[in-house]
Amino acid sequence: MTEKKSLSNFILNKIRAKRIEKGYSQEQLSLEADLDPRYINKFENSHANASLETLDKIFNALDMNYSDFFEIQDHQFDSPEFQKFLSLISRYAYDEKEEVLKAINKLLEK
């Protein structure tokens, strides 16, 4: 039960922070999201649960996407050097990859 509450708090805190960052009042957000004006207040105060459809409306109103919301950052793997590394290591058989990775780990541990 605690984990569920934590997820709920995470979601509503992120939405509240984004709303404030955009300079929206709760009423403005509810109008942009086509929701009852009292809903955002209830939601932000943990008195209402949001369906996926409702979250979608709120995300759209705040110009948010899911990867930004959950801070999924895959750009760290976009560098040419990292892509070259992946290309080179993919040429090895599984057992050989294990040996190469062990050697790399030893180098990095120094």
For position 73, what pLDDT does the model report?
A: 55
Residue 68 to residues 5, 40, 64: CA-CA distances in angstroms? 21, 21, 7
Which tokens sit at 20?
Answer: 């404030």
pTM of the predicted structure, to 2 decimals:
0.59
Q: Which part of the chain has CATH 1.10.260.40?
A: 2-69
Q: Is residue 3's pLDDT more than 50? A: no
Which residues are CB-neighbours of 88 under 8 A, at least 6 positions away?
none
Give the pLDDT confidence of 24-59 residue by residue, as tens digits.
999 999 999 999 989 999 988 888 888 889 999 999
CB distance 46 to 7 below 8 Å: no
> Domain 2-69: which CATH class?
mainly alpha
